[in-house]
Structure 1
């Protein structure tokens, strides 16, 4: 018996084997099973959107968007607030889907729900912001003004590691600013990142045709990017896939917001609180099995405190129980797939063969990979150069603040970082020299806030920012108008 047939919300009778596009309907691409990584149990079956389904959805969305853009901004905001109420009402069932589909512990599900609620409420506030400005006319006697208008249809290609959060982060501002959305959830999490989202907005009374949930693999994503009705693509995923999305979208001169990978450093200076830094480092590297673009992929530690910091980090790793995330006391669940587990194993094994030393963990059991600490990590090893996307903490020593900056910046990525020191001015001086879009002092590297612009530099993205008022720039475009007086 699948989870979808056990009476949990949302009722599987509505959506099993279907897509959401002008209501729940059969797809042209068949169906796909949804499997729980911790147990291998079949949880559900969803429809797979074929290219023809995407084309139909794009046309429906374009038609529905015109009336939506003309609706009062407060009317659009109210839909988001009702969606938030629905999410609160169904939070228990939503948490269960996140845990079982993504392999995260219940606290991870609670975090996604709280963050999704923040995204909805923050985006609702965009409706009350000024949308334009009066300009100084270039010709005396004229009126000149400019205001923001919706882009039209936004395509959102969602990842599996935070499916509810990332869906809400794009959908909420896009919809409240007058756009329609085609959402393609990842094949690993089509329920918590797609079906659940559709049902929440459906309960909230979002007019039909404005949101289309189109599960499927790369072919479905390619169809969303290429659809002529789609004016913008929001993609969260690997840098390699992001480059392909950017190339395809470029052919259509579409706006693209890319939130990609990261090789993020947590820098621990010699005057840091070692226990606090190790706790932040453990959370940054091991939280949700390290499967986050903002995870700490390097621990850069001053040589004078390398031993006590490493011991503290090992203590943090050893205290974390690995297992089925539904079991009491489990801190780390499985990684998302065999492919991901094998890649983590490869990176660690190749680095050990090159001279790195395993101080904790280092051996997987199927999809369960333990918190792993490596030292003697050289800058040529995969553990230093590659994004691991697993619960691995490579530790690298430095001697000076300048050397720490140089090591941290030795990457094509530039997403986030953390710096630990009892001297905030010293930590801030280092932070100013890091090539990252985000940096946090005496904190974790993995942070997100609905009112903050989120994004990276280099191979971590195309400089886009989503969050807070930055959403105005992302999901609208300017229109300029002049009026000649006396005509």
Structure 2
């Protein structure tokens, strides 16, 4: 059974949510606890026909929703926040069981989702347009934001609750309807919980649909003519395919994809503090975070001390079932992903990298791993790992640090650590990344700063309080005159 009172399994068992709870047309799939493999229930799968029907319902419901005032829409979101506060502990535990995250990470997701939804609710109270200039006397000219219509949201399994919130909330706040396709591995924490929250908060029927399923469900969502925008967070490979289809349909696509994020530690850094932050950045959620530290780039003068500290901290970490104990790391999400981490480590060792800590696993429980003598061309330097591996590469000077950091087709996050803020800023200014942190590690999620990547990390369409209004609306130009003017013919 699910651990939540908010969404007990007998409500959603074998169901999708589309105009109420109903049987999906593509069968069912299990909801599992990642640490044990235990089945928590089974969820319905949406067929292409289910997606089409949901999009038609959403299109019709959206028109009335857009006519409501912005503050009225915001009130629904604020009620969701109130319910989240009531159910926050049980939601966090569901995230733990369904994704394998430690408890602190589940709690962080709920807290970040609360902030995302509160900030989105405020969108309804903001100006929705402006009076523009005109060359013609008597012409009243206005530019206003209007809803896109129906927004398709496709989320990954690793942080399903927060990554759904950051798209669902601003989409609804700005007057859109939402079709949410959670990842099959986290359909309750990434989908069912939101159906229940918005249902309880009084969201009018037809505006929120939860359509679990695999690639066919996602493809139907991207291609449906009533879906006006796709918000996708996930792998670069899938994001490229979505972008290609959406581009051909002239449909807006907001893509946040993978990363191979550099963490540059300069020779004047506090070694112990830098190693602690670097370990957190590589090992949080077993490294299964797109913003994880993918490469530790360390100045040669402090490399030995940094590695010694990193190894010591790594060997002190515990691995186990996070639902049953207070462990530092939980399981890798599935055998396929764990085997891929094995491959990356083993291939890199065959090319000259050395393992100083970890490097092995017991089933899905992968020991946090430190690798040194890592160089460009090795899989551990080039590929997104999505596993608890800290790969250390040594550099000689600032120019070489920048070259190594930018030696990737990804461009999500980069970080620089230094006691000299001006020096760190000079390096930061040269880094190819959508997000750069100075004197912090790479995993940082806030609603206030624009979240998005460059290159293979996405198309730069960001989520934030700065950009959400534009992301989930389109501009419409409206002019008016008291009477029709005369024209030459």
TM-score when normalising by structure 2: 0.98
Partner of residue 64 from structure 2, selected from 67, 86, 93: 67
Corresponding position of 1:137: 134
Provide Cα deviations, 1:59-118, integer angstroms capped at 9, x if missing partner.
Answer: 000000000000010110001000011111111221111000000011011000000000
Structure 2: distance between partners of 1:7 and 1:204: 17
Deviation at 1:334, TM superposition (A): 0.2
Deviation at 1:141, TM superposition (A): 2.2
Provide Cα deviations, 1:221-273, integer angstroms capped at 9, x if missing partner.
Answer: 00100111000000111111001001111222100000000000100000001
Alignment of 1:176-191 (within 5 A): 176-191=173-188
Contact 1:155 1:232 in 2 (8 A): yes
Corresponding position of 1:250: 247
Provide Cα deviations, 1:256-306, integer angstroms capped at 9, x if missing partner.
Answer: 000000000100000001111111100100000000110000000000100
Corresponding position of 1:424: 421
Contact 1:300 1:398 in 2 (8 A): yes
Alignment of 1:434-449 (within 5 A): 434-449=431-446
SS in 1 for 2:216: helix
Deviation at 1:29, TM superposition (A): 1.0
Corresponding position of 1:390: 387
Partner of residue 311 from structure 2, selected from 289, 309, 314: 314
Indicate whether 1:23 and 2:23 are aligned.
Answer: no
The worse-fitting range, judged by mean Cα deviation, of 151-160 and 315-324 is 315-324
Provide Cα deviations, 1:457-479, integer angstroms capped at 9, x if missing partner.
Answer: 11100111111120011000000
Corresponding position of 1:470: 467
Partner of residue 404 from structure 2, selected from 388, 407, 410: 407
Corresponding position of 2:114: 117
Contact 2:4 2:91 in 1 (8 A): no
Deviation at 1:7, TM superposition (A): 7.3
SS in 1 for 2:361: coil
Partner of residue 277 from structure 1, selected from 266, 274, 277: 274
Corresponding position of 1:341: 338
Corresponding position of 1:218: 215
Deviation at 1:168, TM superposition (A): 0.4
What is the number of residues matched between the two proteins? Answer: 484
Partner of residue 298 from structure 1, selected from 295, 300, 309: 295
Structure 2: distance between partners of 1:64 and 1:472: 21
Corresponding position of 1:378: 375
Runs of 4+ in 1 over 4 A off after TM superposition: none
Contact 1:143 1:485 in 2 (8 A): no
Unaligned runs of 5+ in 1: none
TM-score when normalising by structure 1: 0.98
SS in 1 for 2:376: coil
Structure 2: distance between partners of 1:130 and 1:402: 45
The worse-fitting range, judged by mean Cα deviation, of 405-414 and 250-259 is 250-259
Partner of residue 127 from structure 1, selected from 121, 124, 127: 124
Deviation at 1:316, TM superposition (A): 1.5
Structure 1: distance between partners of 2:399 and 2:375: 18
Deviation at 1:486, TM superposition (A): 4.0
Structure 1: distance between partners of 2:462 and 2:144: 20
Contact 1:303 1:398 in 2 (8 A): yes
Contact 1:126 1:469 in 2 (8 A): no
Deviation at 1:329, TM superposition (A): 3.0
Corresponding position of 1:194: 191
SS in 1 for 2:119: helix
Indicate whether 1:239 and 2:264 are aligned.
Answer: no
Structure 2: distance between partners of 1:7 and 1:387: 33
Deviation at 1:310, TM superposition (A): 0.4
Structure 2: distance between partners of 1:308 and 1:301: 10
Contact 1:135 1:144 in 2 (8 A): yes
Provide Cα deviations, 1:186-227, integer angstroms capped at 9, x if missing partner.
Answer: 010000000011101111111100000000000000010011
Corresponding position of 2:447: 450
Corresponding position of 2:48: 51
Deviation at 1:125, TM superposition (A): 1.1
Indicate whether 1:267 and 2:264 are aligned.
Answer: yes
SS in 2 for 1:282: helix
